[in-house]
């Protein structure tokens, strides 16, 4: 999970409750200033006609974003699905910290557990879906 | 003469108090939490998100609670909230081929790459009331299988290889957005699919059914129906690259329809397409049927005068918030309007009587 796009994507998709738990456990309290106050807004989600054709607007989803600057000057941006200003700020802080010498602490306490959680929840759904896959069999018709 | 009056504040405030009390129901019973609604009435939540045109399960659950389970009222609340949100931007089109499917079935091919996956479906249940649900109790855990990592391609892409089905090619055209520009006619397919995605499920179900019964005459097969999770990606200006901003559950239906061919097109199968928020396959199928019926012009088919072919009729009436606003407003005071009607009819009768007397 190196690379800014990767960790930002992971955090944006993760459950707010879990991010908050990880943040609290990590015990991080960096000094920072807010450069963009947390803001709840929407993003218009697009689809494609027939899955591959021209784009169309499907409907919106709620998103919260925030931007922070650490005392060392590193800027972090946070995006999170849903409405949680506090979590969006924490994601922005993680984004900033991951660009500094504190990155290992964030990786170990926040990013790694989030990767694990995502893997588990994906796996849980796919496993249940797999159990509902149809096995077809042909009935013998007794005609030799 | 009519004199303008004020009043009713006290009655209104008392009415709303009573509403709150009735919403709560019997106080001896535990209050329903928003989280319970989100988890246990998740298909109502899906409908409110789709027709409210805002994906946020928690808000949809709150709206259902506030509206006492009146889903159109809940959709109204979500639409109203939606208008207060600043728009951060547009996502990239979601990649439904990469969907992590909870359910994926095809009615056209039995053996398909990835298989027929039933998911948590009501299909094949006996539709008998389950009285066990009246008693509290735990449910057994669902069986888990071994997921295969193999691809789950869109079924219609298999037909496409032989050129037997009309192709869906992307032109990178910027789609219209009816939350920014009011509907105008003729509407293109992008705007139609947006309107249908937020259209009333019941209305679209009825229209879809009408196409099957012969109004618009296009016999559809469900080529594929898939339900699952897709990631939503958006490019972020302050970052200079794109990130995934979330993951949403959607339902997608692709229908295969017969097509005789026209002056410009060889005989081939054509497509109807339905995409909608949440686990909502009835709606996805209905959208696909109506989408196909509305494509008569571009496919060079005849206008058979069917309701489902009439773009203006379908799109102007599928929005249940517009519809309920207009239908329900006639219960509100129209004292002045009616007074003038009353005056008019009295005048006409007077004139008629005088005419009679004069003869």
For A11-48, the pLDDT digits (tens) are 999 999 999 999 999 999 999 999 999 999 999 999 99
Q: Domain range spanning residue B280? A: 96-120+153-166+178-323
Helices (H), chain B: 9-24, 34-40, 42-52, 57-66, 71-82, 155-161, 189-197, 201-212, 281-294, 311-317, 320-329, 335-358
Q: What is the pLDDT of residue B335?
A: 87
Q: Does B60 touch chain A (CB under 8 A)?
A: no
Distance set, CA B128 to CA B124, B141, B142 (Å): 11, 22, 21
Domain assignment of residue A65, yes or no: yes
CB-based contact B239 A4, cutoff 8 Å:
yes
Residues B15 and B55 grouped into a single domain: yes
Locate the chain A residue with the closest alpha carbon to B90: A44
Q: Are B92 and B233 in contact (CB under 8 A)?
A: yes
Distance, in Å, from the CA atom of A8 to the CA atom of A29, rounded to the nearest integer, reads: 20
Residues B28 and B101 in one domain: no
* Cβ-nearest to B177 among A57, A61, A65: A57
Q: Which two tokens stand for residue A47?
A: 């689809």
Residue A64 lies in a domain: yes
Element (H, E) at A82: none
Q: Is B355 domain-assigned?
A: no
Q: Does A129 map to a domain?
A: no
pLDDT of residue B1: 54
Residue B16 lies in a domain: yes
A101 within a domain of the structure (yes/no): yes
Do residues B291 and B318 make contact, with C-beta atoms less than 8 angstroms apart? no
The answer to whether position B172 is within a domain reads no
Q: pLDDT tens digits, residue range A62-104?
A: 999 999 999 999 999 999 999 999 999 999 999 999 999 999 9
Residue B284 corresponds to which tokens in the numbers above?
């996805």
Residues from chain B that touch A53, judged by Cβ atoms under 8 A, are 168-170
Q: Cis (ω within 30 of 0) for the bond into B186? A: yes
Whole-number CA gyration radius for chain B: 25
Residues of chain B scoring pLDDT < 70? 1-5, 263-264, 359
pLDDT digit string (tens) for A101-125?
A: 999 999 999 999 999 999 999 999 9
pLDDT recorded at residue B2:
55
**What is the dihedral sign for C-alpha B150, A122, A56, B51?**
positive
Neighbours of A69 (CB within 10 A): 17
Same domain, B104 and B240: yes
Residue B62 C-alpha, separation from nearest chain A C-alpha, in angstroms = 13
Distance CA(B256)–CA(B166), nearest Å, equals 10
Q: Does B179 touch chain A (CB under 8 A)?
A: yes
pLDDT bucket at A142, cuts 50 / 70 / 90:
low
Q: Answer whether residue A143 shows pLDDT above 70.
A: no
Of B143, B169, B246, the CB nearest to A53: B169
Shortest CB distance from A127 goes to which of B54, B144, B242? B144
All residues of chain A having their beta carbon less than 8 Å from the beta carbon of residue B197 are: 58-59
Name which of A50, A57, A79 is nearest B168 (Cβ-Cβ): A50
Whether residues B64 and B105 fall in one domain: no
The answer to whether residue A18 sits within a structural domain is: yes
- Distance from the Cα of A33 to chain B's closest Cα (Å) equals 17
Query: How many domains does chain B contain in total?
Result: 2
Q: What is the pLDDT of residue B135?
A: 85
Residues B106 and B42 in one domain: no
Residue B89 lies in a domain: no
Tokens of B216: 């618009």
User: B-chain residues within 8 Å CB-CB of A77?
Assistant: 236, 238-239
B125 touches chain A (CB under 8 A): no
Q: Which of B56, B115, B175 sits opposite A82 (nearest CB)?
A: B56
Chain B CB contacts of A133 below 8 Å:
115-118, 145
Q: What is the pLDDT of residues A1-12, one digit of tens each?
A: 569 999 999 999
The number of domains in chain A is 1
- Asked if B105 and B22 sit in the same domain, the reply is no
Nearest alpha-carbon partner for B39 in B57, B26, B13? B57
Residue percentage of chain A with pLDDT more than 90: 90
Q: Is residue B88 part of a domain?
A: no
For residue B11, the model assigns a pLDDT of 93
Q: Can you list the positions of beta strands (E) in chain A?
A: 32-48, 55-70, 75-81
Q: Is A61–B102 a contact, with Cβ atoms under 8 angstroms apart?
A: no
- Give A58's DSSP letter: E
d(CA B356, CA B259): 65
* One domain for residues B100 and B32: no
Residue B162's pLDDT is what? 77
Note the pLDDT of residue B165: 87
Q: Is residue B43 part of a domain?
A: yes
Say whether both B32 and B59 belong to one domain: yes
Segments forming the whole domain that contains residue A70: 4-123
Tell whether B146 is covered by a domain. no
Q: Report angle CA B37, B42, B47 to the nearest 5 degrees.
A: 110
| CA–CA dist B129, B309 (Å, integer) | 38
Minimum-distance CB partner of A45 among B55, B102, B157: B55
Residues B189 and B78 in one domain: no
Domain identity same for B56 and B105: no
In a domain, B332, yes or no: no
pLDDT of residue B158: 84
A-facing residues of B in 185-204 (CB < 8 A) are 189-191, 193-194, 197-198
| Helices and strands, number each (H, E), in chain A | 5, 3
Residues B46 and B161 in one domain: no
Interface of B with A in 208-227 (CB under 8 A): none
From chain A, the residues in CB contact with B89 under 8 A are 43-44
CB < 8 Å to B174, chain A: 55
Assign B211 to helix, strand or coil: helix
Give the pLDDT of residue A95: 97
Best mutation target, A35, A55, A83, A98, to test chain B (most B CBs within 10 A): A55
What contacts 24+ positions apart, CB below 8 Å, involve B265-271?
A: B265/B166, B265/B299, B265/B300, B268/B163, B268/B164, B268/B165, B268/B166, B269/B159, B269/B164, B269/B165, B269/B166, B270/B165, B270/B166, B270/B295, B270/B299, B271/A50, B271/B156, B271/B165, B271/B166, B271/B168, B271/B223
pLDDT at A144: 56
User: Do B264 and B242 share a domain, yes or no?
Assistant: yes
Q: For residues B172 and A110, what is the distance between their CA atoms, to the nearest angstrom?
A: 38
Residue B16 Cα distances to B4, B22, B26, B73, B182, angstroms? 24, 10, 17, 15, 33
Nearest Cα residue in chain A from B110: A136
A133 closest CB neighbour out of B55, B89, B116: B116
């Amino acid at each position: 999970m190196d690379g800014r796009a990767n960790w930002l994507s992971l955090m944006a998709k993760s459950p707010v409750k879990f991010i908050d738990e990880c943040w609290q456990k990590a015990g991080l309290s960096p000094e920072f200033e807010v450069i963009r106050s947390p803001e709840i807004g929407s993003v218009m989600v697009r689809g494609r006609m027939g899955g591959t054709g021209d784009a169309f607007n499907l409907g919106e989803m709620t998103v919260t974003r925030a931007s922070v600057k650490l005392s060392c000057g590193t800027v972090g941006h946070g995006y999170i699905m849903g409405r949680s200003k506090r979590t969006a700020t924490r994601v922005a802080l993680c984004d900033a910290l991951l660009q500094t010498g504190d990155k290992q602490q964030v990786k170990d306490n926040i990013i790694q557990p989030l990767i694990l959680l995502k893997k588990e929840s994906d796996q849980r759904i796919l496993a249940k879906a797999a159990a509902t896959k149809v096995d077809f069999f042909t009935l013998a018709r007794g005609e030799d | 003469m009519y004199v303008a009056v004020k009043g009713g504040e006290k009655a209104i405030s008392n009415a709303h108090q009573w509403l709150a009390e009735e919403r709560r129901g019997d106080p001896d019973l535990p209050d329903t939490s928003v989280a319970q609604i989100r988890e246990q009435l998740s298909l109502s939540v899906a409908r409110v998100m789709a027709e409210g045109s805002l994906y946020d399960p928690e808000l949809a659950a709150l709206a259902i609670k506030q509206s006492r389970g009146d889903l159109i009222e809940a959709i109204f609340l979500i639409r109203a909230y939606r208008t207060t949100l600043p728009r951060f931007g547009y996502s990239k089109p979601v990649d439904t081929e990469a969907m992590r499917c909870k359910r994926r079935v095809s009615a056209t091919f039995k053996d398909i790459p990835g298989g027929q996956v039933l998911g948590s479906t009501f299909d094949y249940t006996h539709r008998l009331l389950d009285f066990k649900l009246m008693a509290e109790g735990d449910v057994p855990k669902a069986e888990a299988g071994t997921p295969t990592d193999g691809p789950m391609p869109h079924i219609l892409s298999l037909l496409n290889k032989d050129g037997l089905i009309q192709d869906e090619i992307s032109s990178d055209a910027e789609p219209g957005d009816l939350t920014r520009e009011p509907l105008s006619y003729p509407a293109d397919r992008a705007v139609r699919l947006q309107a249908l995605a937020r259209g009333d499920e019941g209305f679209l179900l009825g229209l879809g059914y009408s196409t099957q019964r012969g109004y618009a005459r296009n016999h559809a097969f469900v080529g594929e129906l898939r339900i699952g999770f897709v990631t939503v990606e958006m490019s972020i200006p302050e970052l200079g690259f794109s990130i995934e901003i979330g993951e949403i559950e959607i339902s997608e239906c692709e229908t295969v329809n017969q097509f005789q061919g026209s002056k410009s097109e060889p005989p081939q199968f054509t497509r109807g397409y339905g995409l909608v928020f949440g686990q909502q396959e009835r709606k996805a199928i209905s959208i696909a049927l109506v989408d196909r019926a509305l494509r008569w012009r571009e496919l060079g088919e005849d206008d058979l005068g069917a309701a489902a072919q009439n773009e203006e009729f379908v799109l102007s009436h599928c929005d249940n918030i517009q519809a309920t606003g207009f239908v329900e407003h006639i219960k509100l005071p129209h004292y002045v309007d009616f007074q003038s009607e009353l005056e008019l009819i009295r005048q006409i009768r007077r004139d008629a009587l005088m005419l009679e007397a004069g003869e």
